[in-house]
Structures are given as structure tokens and as C-alpha cells.
Structure 1
Amino acid sequence: MKRSQSGMTLVGFIIVLAVVGVFIYMGMKTIPMYSEFYAVKQALNGIAQEPGITDKDPAKVKDLFFRRLYISYADNIKPENMKVQRKDAGYVVTVDYEVRKPLIANLDVVGRFNAVKELRRGGGLE
């Protein structure tokens, strides 16, 4: 009785390996963008918990935000990407930015990120 072999050929294995490699490479490009966005959200939550933040002027709020980002090595957020607007007795802070990373040849990965946090008296909870 003859038994036939079943399994993946070498060519099939190389193709699967190439596809997996491309997805890993794309992950290596996109994961830092999302971790930076997480740092932005953490910085916004941190300044919202700052005592007396609603009594400070917008320039001081921006300074506190960028000090927190400096610790996280977030380099893609610039001062022009941040808006601090007065609302009632507090502020609404909006961070809107775009990150572009080269992927392969002339293809880029583009991430657009937007975070909004309302700063209120008494803890700044939304």
C-alpha cells in the first residue's frame, strides 16, 4: 500500500514566510505611531489631573503638556498641532496631528490622530 505525502512545499513555505514578513515589517512601522498616540492621551490625562489647571493660562497648559511628552520621546507632535480653547470654567485641549513613515519604495504609512480632553475644575474628569 502506497502512502502519499501531504504538506507544504518549499515554494509555498517561502511565500507564506514572505507574507508574514511583510506584516511584521508593517507592524514595526505602525506600532510606534500608536504608542506615541497613547503617550499623547496619557499626557492629556496627566494635565487634566493637575491641581488648578483651569486657573493657568493656555501657554502654561501647553508647556505642561509638552513637558510630559518630552519624557515619552514623542517627537511628531508640534506646538501648532495643539489647540487650547476656553470653555466655561475650564479648557478644551485638542491635539490633531499626522505621522508619515516610509514603508517600501514610494509607499508611505500615514496615521492621522486626534485626541480631545476637557479640563475642568475639580479633577478635570470628562
Structure 2
Amino acid sequence: MTLQGSQRGMSLPGLLVIAMMVGFFVTAAIRIAPKYIEYLTVKEVVERVASEFNRDEDTISDVRRKLATTLNTNQVYDIDYKDIEVYREDGRTWIDARYEARVPMIWRIDAVVKFDDLLFEAGRAEPQ
């Protein structure tokens, strides 16, 4: 037996709070997804250039040229080939394409997405 006047379920303010939270996370996912997809393209490009590197024939300029051409072909806009460091250290050539992307969310709130697993040794395909 139930008492008259007792309620079951959620109240309207409770539903509104949950709807706002769900809306925020859906908005965040919609705005961050293109940046993540572009990151996957950058990762694929850098892996390909690193794996195709030939120590005996290719120079750092050749690597930069391949990066510029491939990034342009794949229409990558978040990172410029000039922002990718290509350098030699201890006889090995490294490609460092780590970067951050800022995504405007709501009003003055931005999300910063950090892609820090893009350090590759040229001639090897796996990240360091």
C-alpha cells in the first residue's frame, strides 16, 4: 500500500540537469572528434615517412619535403610541416610531431587536446 502524495521518478529540475550534462558531453564529442580524426591522419603520415626513411640516401631535408607533401595531400591543417622537428641525435634520425590542439567549447571555455605520442625514429615504424 502506498501513501497518497508520494512520487516516483525524477523531478523536472533533475531531468534538466541530466539533459544539460548529456548535452555538454555530446557537444564536446562533436567538437573534439574532427581533431582526433586529423591526429590519426598525422600519425599515419609520420609513421609512413619514418618507415620509408633510408639512412644511406635520405637527408633531413628529404624527410621534411616528404612530410610537407603528404600532409598537404591529406589536407591536414592542425599542424604545419614546419612545426614538426626532424633532427639527428646519437647517429639516429628522429621525427617529433607532438602537438596540442585547442577546441572552443562554450563561450570562454576551451578544451586542449594533447597528442604526445608522435615521436618516431626514422627507419622504424613504432613510436618511442
Q: Same fold (TM over 0.5)?
A: yes
Deviation of 1:96 after TM superposition, in Å, equals 3.0
TM-score for both structures, normalised by structure 2 = 0.77
Moved over 6 A (4+): none
Q: For the aligned residues, what is the CA RMSD?
A: 2.3
- Alignment-derived partner of residue 53 in structure 1: 54
Which residue of 1 is the match for residue 121 of structure 2?
A: 118
Q: Structure 2: any 5+ residue segments left out of the alignment?
A: none
The answer as to whether partners of 1:98 and 1:110 remain within 8 angstroms in 2 is: yes
1:44 aligns with 2:41: no
**What runs of 5+ residues in structure 1 fail to find an aligned partner?**
none
1 or 2, which has the higher strand percentage? 1
Aligned to 1:69: 71
Q: Match of 1:117, as an amino acid?
A: F
Written as runs of structure 1 = structure 2, the 5 A alignment for 1:10-21 is 10-21=12-23
Identity of aligned residues (%): 27
Match of 1:79 in 2: 81
CA–CA separation in structure 2 for the residues paired with 1:78 and 1:18: 36
Greater mean alpha carbon deviation, residues 37-46 or residues 85-94: 85-94
Q: Deviations over 1:20-70 (max 9, x none)?
A: 0011111222222222222221112111232x5332122221222233323
The answer to whether the 8 A contact 1:53-1:61 is kept is no
- Alpha-carbon distance change, 90 to 9 in structure 1, aligned in 2, over 3 angstroms: same
1:105 aligned onto 2:120:
no
